[in-house]
Structure 1
Amino acid sequence: MDTENVCTILDQAIVFDDKDLKVKSLEFIMDTKSESVLKSNAFVRMSKSGLQEVLNLDILNASECEVYVGCKRWASQRCRDAGKQETDEHIRQELGDEVISLIRFPTMTPEDFTHVVSTENVLKKDELISIYRSITNKNYASKFINKPRLDLGARCLFVRCTSVQQPWGISSKKLRYGLSFTVSKNCELTAVEMFLPADGSVTGVLELMEGTKPIHFQRVTLHYKHGVEHLLVNLDKSLILHPSNEYSIRIRMAGRSCGYSCASTANTISMEGVTMTFSDLKAGFDTVATNVSQGQFYGFELLIKKRHNIA
């Protein structure tokens, strides 16, 4: 199950009345990057009943504006399939009141609602006025749900690089990169921001260690991109990090190229109540290409869970 197929799996679960698979699909959508699901190709192909199941979720890692835009994408695809023009009127017809009523417009920011929703004619005039009143007056009751969806937490990019070293020369060696780190509170590692090669491409296996125990392997290929120095590489699965453990990340890259790297770094970074502390590699092979002061690994994306008071 991944962000590209979970909508298809959810539809199959609904068709065959597989309640366990349906629950697992919805949990995956809640637990992962929900905005990636909303932007997937399968999302626009899912059934209306599947779409309604997603919109009924009280937890999503996506803004309500992203939910609305995803629903418009879905309706636009239905218009194309039916040979209709993708007008606001036809999009509204495809969504229907049963879908529109599940979008929590009153929970949008005033900026999102003004610049994304109110400039179009998907909503009726009286609906727009009602939502504006709900946004400005939280106690105003409209037909739309004004209870915000809960998100699972803040995704924060802990950037250790304070200045970038420009590449020089071309290397055909197998380069080794490694770094160790600790965190001050429970959180999840969801992605690694890595430097790209300055020419060609390099390939390797990204490894994560908990102490000396391997906990994750993932093949990574980094390609040269004009004007881009580093890129966020999503992990195949998020990794739970505990403050009592020390972690190491390492990768051996093969390919004929040199890449960008950290010229200087921050050894300790704090965000959202979590402190991430870096050190030279403690587990595995020796490396001269990366250490606590320089080298690979521009930054690390952590999911920091929030405590919600659910009344």
Structure 2
Amino acid sequence: MLQHEIHCDVSFKVGKEEKLVRAHKYVLASRSPVFDALLYGDLAESNEIKIPDIEPSAFNVLLRFLYCGDIDLNQDTVIGALYAADKYDVEELMKASKSYLDQNITYETVCTILENAKLFNFENLTEKCMNFIVENCNSVLQSPSALGLMKETLSEIVSSKYLNMEELEMYHFLISWAENQCEKKGLTKSDENIRNEIGDTLYQVRFQSMNLETFVKDVCRREILTPDEMINLQQIIVGNLHKGNTKFNLGERKYKTFTFLRCSDQRDGWDYKGTEDSIEFTVNRDVKLHGFMMWGGKSVPYTYTVERKLFENSNDVADVPSQPIEITNSSDIQFVVKLRKPVLLYPSKRYRVWVRLQGPRSWTGQTYKQSVNERGVQLYFYTHGGQNNGTSDTGGQFPGFILSL
């Protein structure tokens, strides 16, 4: 009846183009209390009703559900269908639209889903989107949809203490976002207008985590910050200003780390004699390496002197001077070796990590995995062809790696 418009008794002009859509009052009123009041109530409208705020494709999803119970959602219609379901109080379609969004969070969609989750007060979906953005911030903010974030939402993201993104990259994203806002408003993309668009959200960038050279070369070359703010931050970076004398958020970002175990079962016998234990590995997506695990001594307490380095295609990208690690807990058959600061790893690179330890004979492992997959991250391990002290893709040291998304 709907498809062939048989015995239709109500017409709608839908969307900005006022597409004519015919339907049946009784069917709509029986499935929606809002349509019931609209079509049969004391203030019932005429037989031609304008609905400019819903696009025809979304209105069609609503009608198909009201007539047949069909739920035909896709990325192009789900937001409009959610809005239509909310407007006409169609609870089951609301639930179906929310479920669709919940199951289709990606780098490209999460910003749009978040904005709508906040609009419709879907608290669980809002939290899920925020967690996804925090864990995948680099990839999410490279999506074109991120430039359309509302300022309130943007500020909430930048304010998060769990944000796995370099502060300089966040600063440059804010500039790109503000330039997009200027373009929408027909404003010139001057530093003054960009700052006005960013506003106080700029105070949530942890500029103090940058070194002075980076701050001066990459931040101070533009007049996004005022001269007083530049001086203020330079003094903080070099440690010449009390941290209470600033508007900027000086809280340290925290990372939600997790451990990849390529082996958890220990067995006797490994010797550390100052020889390099080394292994190569690749990742399938952008992740940050915080450190790795090593097998500890067979008796407690034990102390190891540790030196470690990380190479990217033979280029040294992270090292820490020799230092002692002392373990006193009898249950610690492994210990964590942390990098000085997290290192961003890329899927197009091959990395090699080596550790030189001196100390007592340790445990080692058995039944090693040559690849580990968790949370969408996959590590592949390879035996290093040079000095490795017997560590390989199937044995030796490095039972675990500490990563964050």
TM-score by length of 1: 0.54
Matched, 1:278 2:381: no
User: CA contact under 8 A between 2:194 and 2:224: conserved in structure 1?
Assistant: yes
**Contact map agreement 1:55 1:102 (CA 8 A) in 2:** yes
Q: Equivalents in 2 of 1:77, 1:135: separation in Å? A: 30
2:163 partner amino acid: L
Shift of 1:304: 2.2
CA–CA separation in structure 1 for the residues paired with 2:336 and 2:203: 39
- Residue 62 of structure 1 aligns to a residue in which SS? coil
Aligned counterparts, 1:286-305, within 5 A: 304-305=402-403
Out of 106, 109, 116, which is 2:211 matched to? 109
Question: Counterpart amino acid of 1:93?
Answer: N
Matching residue of 2:80: none
Which among 163, 170, 176 is matched to residue 67 of structure 1?
170
Counterpart of 1:39?
A: 142
Name 2:238's counterpart in structure 1. 136
Long gaps (5+) in structure 2: 1-104, 258-287, 291-308, 315-334, 338-344, 351-367
The answer on 1:120 being equivalent to 2:222 is yes
Q: Greater relative contact order: 1 or 2 (C-alpha under 8 angstroms, separation 6 or more)? A: 1
- The percent identity for this pair of structures is 26
Determine the C-alpha separation between the residues in 2 that align with 1:85 and 1:94.
12
Aligned equivalent of 1:12, options 101, 116, 133? 116
**Alpha carbons of 1:127 and 1:159: their partners in 2 closer, same or farther (altered >3 Å)?**
closer
Deviations 1:77-111 (A, max 9, x none): 111111212110110111122x1222222332212
Q: Contact 2:313/2:349 (CA < 8 Å) preserved in 1?
A: no
Q: Distance in 2 between matches of 1:121 and 1:160?
A: 36
Q: What is aligned with 1:294?
A: none
Contact 2:147 2:177 in 1 (8 A): yes
SS of 2:392's partner is strand
Query: Structure 1 residue 51: deviation in Å?
Result: 0.3
Give the whole-Å Cα distance in 2 for the aligned partners of 1:129 and 1:42.
34
Cα-to-partner distance string for 1:263-305 (whole Å, 9 max, x where unaligned):
x845959xxxxx983259xxxxxxxxxxxxxxxxxxxxx9724
For 2:223 and 2:312, the matched residues in 1 are separated by 45
1:220-256: CA deviation from partner (whole Å, max 9, x where unpaired): xxxxxxxxxxxxxxx99225x8xxxxx899xxxxxxx
Structure-2 change in CA distance of 1:11 and 1:66 (3 Å): same
Cα displacement (A) at 1:11? 1.2
Return the letter of the residue paired with 2:210.
M
CA, structure 1 residues 18+130, in 2 after alignment: closer, same or farther (shift >3 Å)?
A: same
Shift of 1:147: 1.8
Aligned equivalent of 1:80? 183
Match of 1:89 in 2: 192
SS in 2 for 1:101: helix
3-state DSSP class of the match of 1:60? coil
- Alignment correspondent of 1:237: 376
The amino acid that maps onto 1:115 is K
Between structures 1 and 2, the one with greater helix share:
2
Q: What SS does the aligned partner of 1:42 have?
A: helix
Listed as ranges, the gaps of 5+ residues in structure 1 are 163-183, 196-209, 217-234, 242-246, 250-261, 270-274, 281-301, 307-311
Which residue identity lines up with residue 25 of structure 1 in the other structure? C
**Could you say if the C-alpha distance between residues 61 and 113 of structure 1 is closer, same or farther in structure 2, counting changes exceeding 3 Å?**
same
Are the aligned partners of 1:267 and 1:277 in contact in 2 as well (CA < 8 Å)?
no
Number of equivalenced pairs:
207
Residues 49 and 159 of structure 1: CA distance in aligned 2, closer, same or farther (over 3 Å) = same
Alpha-carbon distance in structure 2 between the residues aligned to 1:110 and 1:19:
40
**Aligned-partner SS, 2:178:** helix
Q: Larger Cα Rg: Structure 1 or Structure 2?
A: 2
Distance 1:117 1:191 in 2: 25
Which residue identity is paired with 1:100?
L
Distance 1:8 1:276 in 2: 47
- Among candidates 124, 149, 155, match of residue 52 of structure 1: 155
Tell me: CA distance 1:248–1:66, structure 2 relative to 1, closer, same or farther (3 Å).
closer
| Superposition deviation, residue 29 in structure 1 | 1.8
CA RMSD across the alignment: 4.2
Q: How far does the alpha carbon of each residue in 1:7-26 deviate from its partner, in whole angstroms, 9 at most, with x for none?
A: 22221122112111111111
Scaled by the length of structure 2, the TM-score of the pair is 0.43
Shift of 1:215: 8.4
Partner SS state of residue 53, structure 1 = helix
Shift of 1:139: 3.0
- CA separation in 2, counterparts of 1:96 and 1:147? 19
Alpha-carbon distance, 1:158 to partner: 7.6
1:303 and 1:76 mapped to 2: Cα distance? 39
Q: Secondary structure at the match of 2:377?
A: strand
SS at match of 1:84: coil
Deviations 1:190-237 (A, max 9, x none): 875489xxxxxxxxxxxxxx979x987xxxxxxxxxxxxxxxxxx992
Distance 1:136 1:248 in 2: 40
SS at match of 2:144: coil
Shift of 1:119: 0.9
- Distance (Å, rounded) in 1 between the aligned partners of 2:312 and 2:228: 50
